[in-house]
Amino acid sequence: MNKRTFQKIIALSGIVLFIIPSALVFAATNNKQLLLTPEEDFPKIHSIFIYTRETLGNIISFDTYHMKLKEQKEYYFWTSIDIESGSFQLSVVGPGGAHIEPKAWSMSDPDSVRKISFVFTPSSTGNYTITVSSLVASDGGSYQLYVNRSGFAGIWWMIGLGLLVVIILLGFPIIILRSRKKKKRKRKR
């Protein structure tokens, strides 16, 4: 196999590995635009984890999400808010308890302060409402929300699994191409 064919196979594999995850992330982050009815009428109940990027306004703005949590399991809640200053909160409310984590920061605070995180253990299984809210802020902006069961399929575990899949998918064509032996040609004298 010549060098150009090998380069085409590697380029095609790279394109496929870029397009498929990008399409999945695009579909996951833009699911609100795909709904034809308001989210309040038919809320999506997440069962495994939540990872989303949305926007908040500057005065009494909030987004709600629904997730099924299991009894006596720890869940990790994390949000990073890209707004310079204001008062914000992340809360979870359901049949097995509630937890509200308020936080405020100003323009002089570093970016590392603009995160809210906590661990919550529900006392009963059921559907819980997760709310990210901006009580009052300097302006509107975006935020990232991540909710997952602690110790199970955390973000680092998913990244590690993703890297393993990439290595396998890129390594497989290389191994096949290298295993083919070239025919020896007779030398001209």
| pTM confidence score | 0.59
**Confidence at residue 38, expressed as pLDDT on a 0 to 100 scale:** 44
How does pLDDT run across 74-115, given as a tens digit for each residue? 999 999 999 888 889 999 999 988 999 999 988 888 888 889
Q: Does 94 lie in the same domain as 2?
A: no
Q: Does 130 lie in the same domain as 104?
A: yes
Q: Could you write out the DSSP letters of every residue in 5-46?
A: HHHHHHHHHHHHHHHHHHHHHHHHHTHHHH-SS-TTTS--EE
Q: Within a domain: residue 176?
A: no
Q: Does 62 lie in the same domain as 125?
A: yes
Strands 59-69 and 45-46: parallel
**Confidence at residue 51, expressed as pLDDT on a 0 to 100 scale:** 86
Q: Does 69 lie in the same domain as 19?
A: no
Q: Within a domain: residue 74?
A: yes
Look up residue 72 and give its two tokens: 């006596």
Residues of the chain with pLDDT under 70: 1-43, 152-158, 179-185, 189
Q: Does 55 lie in the same domain as 21?
A: no
Across 69-85, b (16+ Cβ under 10 Å) vs e yields beeeeebbbbbbbebbe
Q: What is the DSSP letter of 148?
A: E
Q: Does 58 lie in the same domain as 23?
A: no
Q: Within a domain: residue 175?
A: no
Q: Within a domain: residue 186?
A: no
**Distance from C-alpha of 175 to C-alpha of 173, rounded to nearest angstrom:** 5
Look up residue 73 and give its two tokens: 């399991």
**Confidence at residue 90, expressed as pLDDT on a 0 to 100 scale:** 92
Number of domains the chain contains: 2
Alpha-helical runs (H) found in the chain: 3-29, 31-34, 155-179
**Confidence at residue 34, expressed as pLDDT on a 0 to 100 scale:** 39
**Distance from C-alpha of 164 to C-alpha of 170, rounded to nearest angstrom:** 10
**Confidence at residue 84, expressed as pLDDT on a 0 to 100 scale:** 87
Domain carrying residue 28: 1-34
Q: Within a domain: residue 181?
A: no
Q: Does 62 lie in the same domain as 18?
A: no
Q: Does 48 lie in the same domain as 25?
A: no
**Confidence at residue 111, expressed as pLDDT on a 0 to 100 scale:** 83
**Distance from C-alpha of 61 to C-alpha of 30, rounded to nearest angstrom:** 19
**Confidence at residue 1, expressed as pLDDT on a 0 to 100 scale:** 58
